[in-house]
Structure 1
Amino acid sequence: MPVLIAAVVLVGSLCALDLLLTLGVVKRLREHTELLSKVSDNMPGRPPVIGVGEEVGEFTAVAVDGEALTRESLRGDTLVAFFSPNCAPCHEMLPQFVAYARAGGRGRERVLAVVVGAPELATEQVEGLRPVARVVVEGSDTALTTAFRIKGFPTVLKVTRDGRGRVVVAGNRVDLELPTVAA
């Protein structure tokens, strides 16, 4: 009988300890959920990107049609988009982007699309973007991704020249749902 009492006390103690540890884990999970919700409130549905007013870094790239591109080749207000062939939201956004670029009346010289990934996987996106944009495929060379400090896909930006002639980000949350008016 004393062995049975000792076993029940031991099992009861282990259950109480387990309960305390579980309550501690639940408390920590609530704290982490609160922290994550604060972060996502600051960036609703968007990855962190280069800030409005920040200067675009130097880059050199070659478009799929052979045109050499640099930061200085971005003329006036330019729409810049980054896609990846491995990104489901990129495939969903592509038709909206093409329609937005076409409706904006910018012409190909003021729209730049960057497809980041293996060239053999990027073919479909490149063909969809070519009618409305200068298209660059970035494989291992990520000059544009680095210059624009891209951390997630898809990303759509508007860039312009500021009063000092620097190429800066004019908008980092382009709403492709809004109609554009041709200039």
Structure 2
Amino acid sequence: MPFLIPALVLVGALCVLDLILTLGVVKRLRDHTALLANTSAVDTYTINVGEHVGEFTSSSVDGEEVTHQLPEEDTLVAFFSPTCGPCKDKLPKFVEHVERRGIARERVLVAIVGDAEESRGFIEQLSPVARVVSERSDGLLTAAFKVKAFPTVLTVSPDGVGGTVVTDNDVRLDAPAALAA
């Protein structure tokens, strides 16, 4: 019985300490949530809307020359990596998106970033609907479009003076045709 009161005081003190620490963690989580809400993930990992694409010249896997001077219409540009799980999930949606909207092959540019051997499956799926460039992570297209995360899907347009500007850096592949850009 003489140990009951000190034990009860100790348990009470531990509960108060736990409550204080829990409230501190909740406050910290709220602060981080507010910071994340003010940061757009798209802006962090790729080029921004309205920015000009850097200059590049490359060759597609079919031997076509690909440059920053794209066709005189909107062009869909995507970046996939064979080592990226979400890329494997998004790839069929991307192909379906292009086919569903009837986008001409010359208006679709895809960079497969990674080892050439691992990229083979991606290239086979994309070649019928897009001009495909295979490159390493430090490749010209990846640098020109400032891509830091995969998958990335953009829409670009000519700026009228020989350059290319980003018009959408968060293309929704699952949106209905009337709503998608």
TM-score normalized by structure 1? 0.77
CA displacement at 1:67 relative to structure 2: 2.3
Give, in whole Å, the separation in 2 of the partners of 1:122 and 1:54: 29
Structure 1 runs (4+) greater than 3 angstroms displaced: 5-23, 45-48, 103-106
Contact 1:76/1:110 (8 A) holds in 2: no
Contact 1:52/1:172 (8 A) holds in 2: yes
SS in 2 for 1:136: strand
Q: Which residue of 1 aligns with 2:31?
A: 31
Unaligned runs of 5+ in 2: none
Contact 2:79/2:112 (8 A) holds in 1: yes
Q: Please say if 1:82 is aligned against 2:79.
A: yes
Unaligned runs of 5+ in 1: none
For residues 12-43 of structure 1, give each alpha carbon's deviation from its aligned partner in whole angstroms, at most 9, with x where no partner exists.
7676555534432332223223332x146x45
Q: Which one of the candidate residues 147, 155, 159 is aligned to 1:158?
A: 155
Q: CA 1:128/1:34 → structure 2, altered by over 3 Å: closer, same or farther?
A: same
Letter in 1 for 2:147: I
Q: Please say if 1:129 is aligned against 2:120.
A: no
Give, in whole Å, the separation in 2 of the partners of 1:127 and 1:30: 46
Q: CA 1:10/1:93 → structure 2, altered by over 3 Å: closer, same or farther?
A: closer
Worse-superposed segment, 113-122 or 58-67: 58-67
Give, in whole Å, the separation in 2 of the partners of 1:95 and 1:19: 49
Q: Which residue of 1 aligns with 2:63?
A: 66
The percentage of counterpart residues that share the same residue type is 55
Over the aligned positions, Cα root-mean-square deviation in angstroms equals 3.0
Q: Which residue of 1 aligns with 2:96?
A: 99
CA displacement at 1:101 relative to structure 2: 2.0
Contact 2:68/2:163 (8 A) holds in 1: no
SS in 2 for 1:109: helix
